[in-house]
Amino acid sequence: MFNDIGPLELVTIIIVAVLVFGPDKLPKVIQDVTRTIRKIRDFSESAKQDIRNELGPEFKDFEFEDLNPKTFLRKQLDNEELGLKELRNGFDLKKEMADLTDTVHGRESGSSASSASSSGAAGGRIDMTKKPEVLGRDERPPFDADAT
């Protein structure tokens, strides 16, 4: 529960507690706090058990930790029934990004390179020394993939 509290922070908390409550009342306050935490945990476990019982037998493996989006996604991606591992392994992101970069810079010969050179970019670059064109009201400026 308190895994991220370091020794210096713990000493600071103890000093502040002694200053606020005093050394004579501090043990009673600690007992009250631990009793309250224990009651909250018991209430939480009871509520979880009630929810599991009400959901029925089809949700017997339900864990509340699965409601965390990271845990849920990790569990679903590891599920063999969905076939996501084959999809993930069949997709080469580096190759796709290299192809996209080549297309944007006009290095690829083919229809994508001709469309890049016809869009007004000489060799995949835009001449910044030219005076910008004034666009009409409904016209959009040219798309610059390097700027986005």
Cα 41-44-62 angle, rounded to 5 deg: 125
- Average model confidence (pLDDT) for the chain? 76
Q: Is the pLDDT of residue 94 over 70?
A: yes
Give me the residue spans of the domains in the chain.
1-57
Per-residue pLDDT tens over the stretch 119-129: 444 455 666 66
Per-residue pLDDT tens over the stretch 19-73: 998 889 989 999 999 999 999 999 999 988 888 888 888 877 777 777 788 887 7
Count of CB atoms within 10 A of residue 106's CB?
19
List alpha helices for the chain, DSSP H.
Answer: 7-21, 26-55, 69-77, 84-90, 93-104, 111-118
Q: Does pTM top 0.75 for this prediction?
A: no
Distance in angstroms (rounded) separating the CA atoms of residues 3 and 80: 34
